[in-house]
Chains A and B, each alone.
Chain A
Amino acid sequence: MIEIKNLSFGYKSNELLLKNLNLIISKEQKISIIGRSGCGKTTLLMLLAGIISDYEGRIIINNENLTEMRSETGVVFQNGGLFPWKTVYGNLALGLKAKKVDRIEIDRKISRVLKDLGIDNLKNKYLKELSGGQKQRVAIARTLVLDSDILLLDEPSASLDAFTKDNFQNILLKIYNKYQLCSVLVTHDIEEAVLLGQNIVVMKDGKLEKIIDNEELFGKKDIKNQISFYERCINLRKTLE
C-alpha cells in the first residue's frame, strides 16, 4: 500500500513542481497516472521509489515512512536501466545474489518469471540482442524475481511500435493478474491509461486533479474492440485539455 500525504516537491527551492499531492493506493490496486510531458510524472515515481528524498509531506509504504530505496519496490525506468554488460539471466540474478539466495532457488525463480513474461528463450542474451519490447519485459522480470510488492512503471511502452505495444500491454495485464502487486504506471498515452488502470489519476499543473474509477473496463477481454473503451478515452482527453 502507498499513502501519499501532502506531498510537495520542486527541483528549485522557489518553485514547486508537485503541489500538495494526496493519494492512497491500496495493496493490490493498479493505477495509471496520466499527464502531459513535463508535468512531473517521472519525478513522482522517483519520489515513490525513494530515489528523491528531499520532499515535503509524507510517503508511507505498507504503514512505514519511506526513508530509502527498497528492493521490493520495482522500478521500470523509461530507458530500462538494465545492465548492458550482463545477460538477461545476469540482470535478474544480481538482486537475488545480493540477497544471498542460493543458486537453485535463483534459477527456479528466474525460469518462472521469464516464462510468465514469455521470454524464457532470451535467458542468455545480452541487451544488445534484444528488441525494445523484450528489454521492457526483462526490466519487469528483474523486479518480479525480487518478490516485489510495488511496481512503478515509467511510460513503459512509450518507445514501442503499435503492435509491440499491444503485445506488451497484454503481457502486463497478465502479470497484474498473476502477481500480487500494487502498481503505479505513469503515461502520457490516453489509451494506455484506460487499458492499464483500475483507477486513472489525472495529473495537471503539479496537482492530482481527478481520479476516475475505471474498474468496469480494466482487464476486460477484447476491450479495445468496445465502444465504451473509446468513450472513456475521449472523456479523458477532454479532462486533459
Chain B
Amino acid sequence: MKHVLGISIVLIMWILFAYLFQNTIPLPNEVFLNFVKIFGKQLFTPTLQSISLLFSGLFFSIIIGVHLGIYMGLSKRGNKLLDSVIYSIYPIPKSALLQVLIIIFTSMFWMKSTLIFIIVVFPVIITVKDAIRVIPKEVFYHAKSLSLNKKQMYKDLIIPAILPNLFTTLRISIGNSIAVLYLSETRGIGSGLGYFIDSSVVSNNLNMFTGIFVLSLIGYILFILIDLIEYKFCKWV
C-alpha cells in the first residue's frame, strides 16, 4: 500500500515536471516504452555491469564491516585499536579518493567496487559496534550462565541484536552507493548505467532518462528487498 502511494506521488510529480519542461523531460509513458524497447539491447549490459558493481561493493562492505564491528563491539582492546583509526578516516571525503583509486587499481571494476566499499563500510562498522554496545549486560550474563557456544552466541544473541540497525544503515547506504556508483561509472573507462546516462546526454535525451529510470529502479528493488528481509528477521522490533 505504502508503495502504491509512493509511486503515485512520484509519477504525478514526474508528469508535472514533464509539462513544465516540455522539451527536456519526457513523460513517464515515453520512458517506459523506450525501456521495453531498448532493455534487451543497449541497456542490458550496462544494467548488468552496474548491478554487479553495486552488489560486490555492498557485499564486501557488509561482510567486512559486520566482522570488524562485532570485534570492536565485543572486545575492549579491539575497540581501542580501531576506534581512533576509524574516526580519523571516516570524515575524509571518500569520493575525492576516486582519482587515487584510478591510479592504484589496474582493474576498473575493482576500482569502482572499492570506492563503494569505502563509502559503505564505515557506517556499517559503527552501526554494528554501537548495536552491540547497547545490549544489556544482563543478556550477556544469562548467555554466559548457559555456557552457550560460539555458534549459539552469534545466532541467538549477536546477529539478532545488530540486524535492525544494520538494515537501517543499509537503506541509507544504498542511496549513497548509487550516487557513487554513478560518479565512478562516468570516470576512467566508463561503464554501466552511469556511462550510459552520461553518454546519452547529448545524443539521446530519452535514453538518458531511461537510464536514470533503471538506476532508480535498482535502488527501489534493493529497498524492497531489505524491507522483506527485515520483515522476516526483525519481527521483534
Show the binding face of A for B, using Cβ within 8 Å: 49-51, 69-71, 73, 75, 77, 79-87, 94-95, 97-99, 126-128, 142, 146
- The residue that A69 contacts in the complex, of B141, B160, B237, with Cβ under 8 A, is B141
| B160 touching A85, Cβ below 8 Å | yes
Residue B108 is within 8 A (CB to CB) of chain A in the complex: no
Closest to A76 in B: B138
> B interface, how many residues as a size bin?
20 to 34
Residue B64 is within 8 A (CB to CB) of chain A in the complex: no
| A81 touching B136, Cβ below 8 Å | yes
Report the separation of the CA atoms of residues A128 and B236 in the bound assembly, to the nearest whole angstrom.
7
Report the separation of the CA atoms of residues A80 and B136 in the bound assembly, to the nearest whole angstrom.
10
Report the separation of the CA atoms of residues A87 and B148 in the bound assembly, to the nearest whole angstrom.
18
Q: How many whole Å from B211's CB to the nearest CB in chain A?
A: 41
Report the separation of the CA atoms of residues A203 and B163 in the bound assembly, to the nearest whole angstrom.
43
| A83 touching B147, Cβ below 8 Å | no
Known: A81-B139, A85-B163, A95-B146. 18 other contacts (CB 8 A): A69-B141, A69-B144, A71-B146, A71-B147, A75-B142, A75-B145, A77-B141, A81-B136, A82-B139, A83-B160, A84-B236, A94-B146, A97-B152, A98-B146, A126-B236, A128-B236, A128-B237, A142-B142
Closest to B235 in A: A126
Which residues from 130 to 163 on chain B have a C-beta closer than 8 Å to any C-beta of chain A?
136, 138-139, 141-142, 144-149, 152, 156-157, 160-161, 163
Q: How many whole Å from B150's CB to the nearest CB in chain A?
A: 12
Closest to B159 in A: A85
Report the separation of the CA atoms of residues A99 and B145 in the bound assembly, to the nearest whole angstrom.
12
- The residue that B156 contacts in the complex, of A50, A81, A83, A128, with Cβ under 8 A, is A83
Report the separation of the CA atoms of residues A95 and B234 in the bound assembly, to the nearest whole angstrom.
22
Report the separation of the CA atoms of residues A107 and B158 in the bound assembly, to the nearest whole angstrom.
25
Residues of A within 8 A of B161 (CB): 85
Residues of A within 8 A of B139 (CB): 81-83
Report the separation of the CA atoms of residues A49 and B234 in the bound assembly, to the nearest whole angstrom.
31
Report the separation of the CA atoms of residues A83 and B143 in the bound assembly, to the nearest whole angstrom.
10
| B156 touching A71, Cβ below 8 Å | no
| A79 touching B145, Cβ below 8 Å | no
| A79 touching B141, Cβ below 8 Å | no
| A98 touching B138, Cβ below 8 Å | no
Show the binding face of B for A, using Cβ within 8 Å: 136, 138-139, 141-142, 144-149, 152, 156-157, 160-161, 163, 234-237
State the main secondary structure of chain B at its contact with A.
helix
| A51 touching B236, Cβ below 8 Å | no
Closest 4 CB pairs of A and B: A81-B138, A85-B160, A69-B145, A77-B138
Residues of A within 8 A of B235 (CB): 126
Residues of B within 8 A of A87 (CB): 236
| A98 touching B236, Cβ below 8 Å | no
| A79 touching B146, Cβ below 8 Å | no
Closest to A154 in B: B138
Residues of B within 8 A of A77 (CB): 138, 141
Residues of B within 8 A of A71 (CB): 145-147
Report the separation of the CA atoms of residues A75 and B139 in the bound assembly, to the nearest whole angstrom.
11
Given contacts A83-B156, A94-B156, contact A70 B236 (CB under 8 A): no
Report the separation of the CA atoms of residues A69 and B148 in the bound assembly, to the nearest whole angstrom.
12
| B236 touching A85, Cβ below 8 Å | yes
Q: How many whole Å from B154's CB to the nearest CB in chain A?
A: 13
| B156 touching A49, Cβ below 8 Å | no
Residues of B within 8 A of A75 (CB): 141-142, 145
Report the separation of the CA atoms of residues A86 and B155 in the bound assembly, to the nearest whole angstrom.
11
Chain B CB count within 10 A is highest, among A71, A79, A98, for A98
| B141 touching A70, Cβ below 8 Å | no
Residues of B within 8 A of A127 (CB): 236
Residues of A within 8 A of B149 (CB): 98
Residues of A within 8 A of B146 (CB): 71, 94-95, 98-99, 146
Residues of B within 8 A of A82 (CB): 139
- The residue that A81 contacts in the complex, of B142, B163, B236, with Cβ under 8 A, is B142
Q: How many whole Å from B123's CB to the nearest CB in chain A?
A: 22
Report the separation of the CA atoms of residues A69 and B140 in the bound assembly, to the nearest whole angstrom.
12
Q: How many whole Å from A159's CB to the nearest CB in chain B?
A: 14
Residues of B within 8 A of A98 (CB): 146-149, 152
Given contacts A85-B236, A86-B236, A126-B235, contact A49 B138 (CB under 8 A): no
